[in-house]
Every structure is written in structure tokens, then in C-alpha cells.
Amino acid sequence: MKSLLKTILSVVFVGFCLISSAQTGMNHSIGLQLNPYLDESLFNGNAIKPVFALRYTFSLKDHITLGPELSGSFMRGPIAGPVYKSSNFNLGGFIRYSFLPESRIKPFFELSSYYTFYNYKNLGTGGAETSGSDNYLSGYLAPGISLFSKSKKFSIDLFYKFSNKDFINGKQSVLSYRLNFRF
């Protein structure tokens, strides 16, 4: 419970920093991700795994950006047979170091920490049901690249995340992407 309180206080602090920085003329952006996880289960109709993320970013310097992030995923499968449902919700923040800050193609390195709320329900055959939940602190390291539009108002981040916990693909690394709007 103390970890949850610390995480919430950290998000509130970052939010306060964002509001106060709005007066300084810093660059801000909003990043969105909402897509099904593309794997064999999706294409054979066995399971669907939507992934989502919402982040607010502001720049401290040309090379350094940071901000809060909400992210997670859901899973429901298989379509036929015993049903398994799970979800995770991540609440945390990130910091990014970008190379070539004036370029429209920017390699970057990102570090994120977050608190995860995980739960599952397994509706087995014969009406037997098992369920559970877990909460834990985790994070990821991610090298990637940002591709900017000519006006630099829109960008897409392509990155490969490495973590100490499993992602939606059941592995400790995953390829990801995010669409961003700068203002």
C-alpha cells in the first residue's frame, strides 16, 4: 500500500511540474497508443489483446524529455473453450534522452518506471473458476527512433522495450510504437 501511495504522489508531483512548466514556453506533446497486439492468436481468431498508452511529455532541454504515463493491456482468450481474461494497468513516468534533437529522425534511449495492477480470471471447464491479482513495481529500458512530420507537430515512436517482467507477448522484451502530437 505504501508503494501505491508513493506512486500516486509521484504522479501528482509530475502533474504539478507540468502545470507550472506550461508558463515557461517549453515543448509539450501527448502520446497515444491503442491497438490490438499483433500476434498469431489475433490472426487465427483465438484471442484478442488490446494494448493502450497515454503519456504527456514536456522537454527540459533539447535532448531530455520526461512525463507521466498510463498504459496497460487486456487479454481475452480463447474464443472457443475455457475463457481466460487478464488485464494490467500501469501508472508511472518516463525520461528520454534524444540524439540529434534538431533532426526529423531522432534516435533515443528511454527509461520508464511504473506500478502495475494485474488481475486475471480463468473460467475453466466444469464451471471451476480461478482468479487472482498482483501489484508490483516494474519498468523498462528502450532504445528507439522518433520519426517527425515536416512541421514537427506529429511523430511516431518506434522502440524495443526490455523489462524484468513479462509484457503482453509473454516475454521480457517487445517491439512497440506510439503516435505523438506536439503543441
What is the pTM (predicted TM-score) of this model? 0.74
Asked if 78 contacts 86 with a C-beta cutoff of 8 angstroms, the reply is no
pLDDT at 12: 54
pLDDT at 49: 81
pLDDT at 178: 85
Residue 72 has pLDDT above 60, yes or no: yes
Number of domains the chain contains: 1
* CATH code of the domain covering residue 175: 2.40.160.20
pLDDT at 143: 97
Residue 40 has pLDDT above 90, yes or no: no
* Backbone dihedral angles phi then psi of residue 126, each to the nearest 5 degrees: 80, 15
Residue 21 has pLDDT above 90, yes or no: no
pLDDT digits (tens, 9 = 90+) for 104-118: 999 999 999 999 999
Q: In percent, how much of the chain has pLDDT > 90?
A: 33
Residue 22 has pLDDT above 80, yes or no: no
The range of the structural domain enclosing residue 56 comes to: 2-182
**Once rounded to an integer, what is the mean pLDDT over residues 34-53?**
75
